[in-house]
A = this chain, B = another copy of it.
Amino acid sequence: MAKDKKQPRPKAETPKGFRDYFGAEVTERNEMLATIAEVYQAHGFDPLETSAVETVEALGKFLPDVDRPNAGVFAWQEEDDGKWLALRYDMTAPLARVAAQFRNDLPSPYRRYTMGPVWRNEKPGPGRFRQFYQCDADTVGAPSVAADAEICGMLADTLEAVGIPRGDYIVRVNNRKVLNGVMEVAGVLDPTDPEKFEEERGTVLRAIDKFDKFGEEGVRLLMGPGRLDGSGDFTKGAGLSDAQCDTVMGFMAAKRDTGAETCARLRELVAGSALGAEGVEELELIASLLEAQGYGPDRIVIDPSVVRGLGYYTGPVFEAELTFEILDEKGRKRSFGSVAGGGRYDDLVKRFTGQAVPATGVSIGVDRLLAALRAKGRLHGKLPGPVVVTVMDRDRMGDYLAMASELRAAGIRAEVYLGNPKNFGNQLKYADKRESPVAVIQGGDEAERGVVQLKDLILGAKIAQEASLEEWKSQPAQVEVARADLVAEVRALLARYED
């Protein structure tokens, strides 16, 4: 048509950093999320789904996350009132908004879970997308660390529910208050002037969060004089003395065989700091609450090396790590690593209301956990292919549709070939592409005789791959059955291949 020529054709492509999910990628994620929702709900958490769009004001463009203050959002301005709106970049900011907006209606404490996409306006990279799923559970309004303990236990339950066996994961728990106690002992925190040394503490926090990456030496450089990396870039250090660094590193290495021993060691390290002592007490309480519910150190441990990068945590922090080994891109064995993390953040709701509201929560990295389940062979990445009813005679489409209907009524996924039926080979190629287990064939002759042909496509593929001519002959991949027995015969055929 003349009109089409007026403008160039649009490009059929996803925007940079975005992707589409097909077939089992969608269903497997949905199934995993449904399982997680079940565990969360059993624990008394209620679902919440906020809108994807928030006011930039409510999002808080600069949450106290020193690590990424310029974290980009996708934002635009409203035409009528000039207000800036943006896509949410996590689930915590919208929760803080909801907790403030509906504070008179929600139960207190308010346990909620939520799952859905979040958006980051960042430079995309390999495996790094600008839209991805998060799955969070948080408790708002519960000051006691029993709420943190509950979430740690629930996290362990969740991992087992989705298919990570006990022994293949560990939930590590730490407490920012202990870390702050250590900072106080090291002389970079003054309880009478909390803002003093804030920059240094931020640098220390980020440094020790990179322990896995840079090792002890690198972390000491970042806490001390600064670090020059291989490319010649210099990262400014926190300027701590060697003795100060020793104190902090002692904290990182404080883990002992049992939670009680670790806590005892931490108590020594924070001696003299009231905040630190409070933090150790909280850890002891968490450990005892978990024990009371049967979560032993094979599932949840006190581990001072967990700090979590986010600046807004104020108390307990936790992280779930999968401990089984996988091969990385270069074929080297490494442990799978972190799939979830969280902690207590008592100041986020305060932004809106002025009143401090204690809150704690966890966020599961949905894509990481799916990848883990794939690595463990728990997901197959395939939808069950439909039975394909082929079309030999286009005037008898009603008969073919009726066959598919009957199969579906018996719970069997089935469809009629709806392309141009002229070339029968194309129909079988289509059935292959659909990973169809069985093709149903009925020409005019078969229709007259009241029969259909069933082609066993799984067996057919196996024979084509493996079998010798003799075997092929002895195992016919195609059988003729009575039309009236269609459903029963297809069911029998499918039963052969059920796991």
Contact = CB atoms under 8 A, between A and B. Distances in A.
Interface stretch (A43-51, A201-209, A450-458, A482-490): A43-51
Contacts of A54: 14-15
A108 B21 contact: no
A127 interface: no
A55 B111 CA distance: 38
A152 to B, nearest CB: 11
A107 B10 contact: no
A232 interface: no
A405 B420 CA distance: 59
Chain A's interface size range is: 35 or more
A149 B401 contact: yes
B146 A397 contact: yes
Nearest to A51: B18
Interface string A105-134: 001110100000101010000000011000
- The count of identical subunits is 2
Contacts of A293: 398, 401-402, 405
A100 B12 contact: yes
A280 to B, nearest CB: 18
A111 B404 CA distance: 15
15 contacts: A10-B60, A10-B351, A22-B47, A42-B408, A43-B408, A43-B415, A44-B413, A44-B414, A44-B434, A109-B419, A292-B398, A292-B401, A292-B402, A293-B401, A293-B402
Interface of A: 2, 4, 9-16, 18-23, 25-27, 30, 34, 37, 41-44, 46-55, 57-58, 60, 74-76, 78-79, 83, 85, 87, 97-98, 100-102, 107-109, 111, 117, 119, 121, 130-131, 139, 141-144, 146-147, 149-150, 153, 195, 288-289, 291-294, 350-354, 383, 386, 388, 394, 397-399, 401-402, 404-405, 408, 411, 413-420, 430, 433-434
